[in-house]
Amino acid sequence: MSKSGSTVPADVPVQLLHGDVALSGRPVLREVDLTVRRGEFVALMGANGSGKSTLVRTLVGLNPLSAGRLELFGRTLSGFHDWSRIGYVPQRSTATGGVPASVWEVVASGRLTHRKLLRPLRSADRAAIRAALDVVGMGAYAHRGVAQLSGGQHQRVLIARALAGRPELLLLDEPTAGVDLPNQQALAGALGRLKKDGATIVLVAHELGPLAPLVDRAVVMRDGRKAYDGAPLTDADVHAQGFDAGHVHCDTGLDSAGSTAAPNAAVPTPLKEL
Ligand SMILES: Nc1ncnc2c1ncn2[C@@H]1O[C@H](COP(=O)(O)OP(=O)(O)OP(=O)(O)O)[C@@H](O)[C@H]1O
């Protein structure tokens, strides 16, 4: 164990062991193990209400664990302060809806962890904002009000805000929900470039569509537990295995390391290794 109390190497972005989370007094996540290694692209899948958003929010410190242990970059949550290393794009929301801010201003807020509050933007900040807007194809919209954007464009601005912080670990909660195919393709291109640059990506999705070729590993949640962790699944596999339905009994049978373990008999087998 290191001085920080960590059991995890500093280059492992996420390690959650036996994570339990309760919301409003109700258990929502149970015994979840999830390790995400540097440079991995992990797709987090599962039916509505299976616990995907709760898990992602837990990984970024927004939901406290009622049991278990979370380490980010080799530090326990209480000892982790370097949030500029992490970008989080919440499930599509009205987070910036109704705010009389421009696209540039929203994306600039993604630089806050890199500069002192109320200090003017430095040239490095401006360059990061411009690059993030270009990556999501929104450079031409910098001076538009966010209120004038479509849902898909709005989502890309939130992604640019996360990218502007130049995160090493990026977590995106259903960035493709309700987004048309050209916008999904633009997002896939942006995330592909980020992955090539070495970023670690955790993405919640019901269907992967154009993002599928980027995925290294799929994790499927069911009833607040991890039901599958292994080779990527196609959208058809997810459907065929009933992972998009909330009714199948879950008993994970996964080892504590979590990855590539074969599902036990409670989960329909064999899962197609792609
Ligand atoms: N603040 C809360 N208080 C109590 N229960 C909650 C709260 N937020 C979520 N839940 C419950 O936790 C469970 C998991 O919700 P979560 O949003 O994590 O699922 P999800 O897999 O992301 O679903 P979706 O695909 O619909 O976004 C659901 O049963 C939900 O009702």
Q: Where are the alpha helices (DSSP H) in 109-250?
A: 123-135, 151-164, 181-196, 235-240
Q: Would you state the structure tokens that stand for residue 87, as one six-digit string?
A: 């970008």
Ligand 1 and 52: CB distance under 6 A: yes
Q: Where are the alpha helices (DSSP H) in 30-138?
A: 52-59, 103-108, 123-135
- Centre of ligand 1 to C-alpha 249, Å, is 18
CATH architecture of 14-99+167-239: 3-Layer(aba) Sandwich (3.40)
pLDDT band at 6 (very low <50, low <70, confident <90, very high): low
Q: Is the peptide bond before 120 cis (omega within 30 degrees of 0)?
A: no
Residues 16-43 have pLDDT tens digits of 999 999 999 999 999 999 999 999 999 9
| Contact call for residues 39 and 202 (beta carbons, < 8 A) | no
Give 3-state DSSP helix, strand, coil % of the chain, rounded to 5.
30, 25, 45
pLDDT band at 104 (very low <50, low <70, confident <90, very high): very high
189, containing H or E segment: helix 181-196
pLDDT (mean) for 138-147? 92
Please give the mean pLDDT across all residues of the chain.
81
- Centre of ligand 1 to C-alpha 23, Å, is 9
Whether residue 249 has pLDDT greater than 80: no
- Name the closest-CA residue to atom 1, ligand 1: 23
Round to whole Å and give the CA distance between 80 and 155: 28
pLDDT for the residue numbered 225: 96
From 44, 45, 50, the mutation candidate for ligand 1 (largest count of ligand atoms within 8 A of CB) is 50
- Name the closest-CA residue to atom 30, ligand 1: 49
- Centre of ligand 1 to C-alpha 54, Å, is 6
Residues belonging to the chain: 274
pLDDT for the residue numbered 29: 97
pLDDT for the residue numbered 194: 87
pTM, 2 dp: 0.82
* Range among 98-102, 106-110, 139-143, 250-254 rated most confident: 139-143
- Centre of ligand 1 to C-alpha 53, Å, is 7
pLDDT (mean) for 212-224? 95
Residues 178-192 have pLDDT tens digits of 778 887 888 888 889
pLDDT (mean) for 195-220? 93
Q: What angle do CA 155, 94, 124 make, to 5 degrees?
A: 55
